[in-house]
Chains A and B, each alone.
Chain A
Amino acid sequence: MAVVETDPSANAGMEDGVRRRDFINIAAVSFAGVGVVAVALPLVNQMNPSADVLALASIEVDLSAIQPGQAIKTSWRKQPIFIRNLTPAEIEDAKKVDVGGLRDPESLEARTKPGKENWLITLGVCTHLGCVPLGAAAGELRGDFGGYFCPCHGSHYDTAARIRKGPAPKNLVVPEYAFTSDTVVQIG
């Protein structure tokens, strides 16, 4: 029977040859692995927010039409935002409260911008289980502390939107915001 292997003396370099051959195989497979990871990155990253969603990550709101005692509801990152122009009486009420005795201790000062403490900007999402509390629109119930009231499970927020009574663990969240002018605020 004809022999189809090449001359056995070629295998004299076998030891060295095996290592060299293994190396090239390992190199090829490793390169393939690097390639697989390089391709996996865009496949995973495509699920991250797209450019048009990120463009709406930040909004500007003109506050000039909001009178003291009024509040508006608007939307930011698809969530409700309450923007309230506190009256001097509401500011008084907020400052009178003993901060240390609060479930989620925060002063009004910490929740507003210096010189703009009448502007209370919070997420309109109850920190209990996520309902939208009442109190922003005219005529809505404002709860026992004159702020916001969540009808789902009875959380009461005060004039600084801090939790005072009911199951919610935290005050209404204050998002990142800044005044770009006297009457315009940029949220996010």
Chain B
Amino acid sequence: MIRIIAFLGGLGFVAALLVGALMPREAAEEAVTEKFFKEHKHVSFTTDGPLGKFDHAQLQRGFQVYKEVCSACHSLRLVSFGDLTGIGYTPGQVKTIATEWTQEQPSINPDTGEAATRKNLASDKFPSPFANDVAARAANNNAVPPDLSLMAKAREGGAAYIYSLLTGFQEPPADLPKDSRPGPGLHYNPYFPNLNLSMAPPLVNDGQVTYGEGAPKPTVDQMAKDVSAFLIWTAEPKLEARHRAGIATIIFLLIFAGLCWGSYQAIWANKEH
């Protein structure tokens, strides 16, 4: 009885599917974005691979780029000033960075109760440059500059994508269809899935940020690499600890597997199976 119902059900599903499969379809046109979109560039970071580590000097340069260029529009709300000790700053330096940070922390005037701001403490998270999304849109041509804390994990291609985007602004190619040309307030970038984005190229000149003594020259390419590396850290501050723990664990488990294999062989030595 069940078999009959099942058989008929099976016929039903198969028929419905084959009708769908045999339906003629219009040849799908290649979407404009597919034709012009470019996969992210190949770029390596010191954090790549199972033995990847942070380069604190690079992370500090990247932080400088964030501070002087990106923080005007992009928040970093999951990172606290105190976390910066993780990229090599001393607690004293962190306190200075916090108190001198342009954007202050929202607070309340203790006398009138009105909204006010106060200086940042090390325990504060980085404050957003905008009071809320509405303010962010109003200041940015109806686009909200996304928070950057997790950006290196929140996009296909991760930090390589960020690097490609920052160095990928260019004139639209001649054969780009008119509909896909960037309108007012938009900028063509083939690394961006929709080809045109609201962010103007943030890194335009070499030397836009001044690096310290002994640092590589702050070319656009170098600044893009450094800030991308910084964003790997903001997204995964525990990356190095994870790699270290991983190596130790794998070594332990390999030895353990060896011992278990020996034990298994010893126990089964006399039993054919």
Contact = CB atoms under 8 A, between A and B. Distances in A.
A/B touching: CB–CB < 8 A: yes
Interface of A: 4-6, 10-11, 17, 20-21, 24-25, 27-28, 31-32, 34-35, 38, 52, 55-56, 60
B111 to A, nearest CB: 11
Most A Cβ at <10 Å: residue of B252, B266, B272: B266
B123 A56 contact: yes
Nearest to A58: B123
A19 to B, nearest CB: 11
Interface in B230-273: 252-253, 255-256, 259-260, 262-263, 266-267, 269-272
B126 to A, nearest CB: 14
A28 B256 contact: yes
Contacts of B256: 28, 31-32, 35
B107 to A, nearest CB: 14
Among A4, A5, A24, the one with the most B-chain Cβ atoms within 10 Å of its Cβ is: A24
Contact of A55 (B82, B260, B271): B82
A4 B271 contact: yes
Given A6-B272, A55-B82, A25 B252 contact: no
Top 8 nearest A-B pairs by Cβ distance? A21-B266, A28-B259, A55-B123, A28-B263, A24-B262, A31-B256, A25-B263, A24-B263
Contacts of A32: 256
A107 B256 CA distance: 62
Contact of A38 (B121, B252, B260, B266): B252
A57 B260 CA distance: 46
B80 interface: yes
A6 B270 CA distance: 6
22 contacts: A4-B272, A5-B270, A5-B271, A6-B269, A6-B270, A21-B269, A24-B263, A24-B266, A25-B263, A27-B259, A28-B256, A28-B260, A28-B262, A28-B263, A31-B255, A35-B253, A35-B256, A38-B252, A52-B123, A55-B82, A55-B122, A55-B123
B267 A21 contact: yes
Given A21-B266, A34-B252, 17 more contacts: A6-B270, A6-B272, A10-B270, A17-B269, A20-B266, A21-B269, A24-B259, A24-B262, A24-B266, A25-B266, A27-B262, A27-B263, A28-B256, A31-B252, A35-B252, A52-B123, A56-B123
A38 B270 CA distance: 35
A84 B260 CA distance: 67
**Residue among A4, A11, A32, A55 facing the most chain B CB atoms (10 A cut-off):** A55
Nearest to B249: A38
Contacts of B260: 28
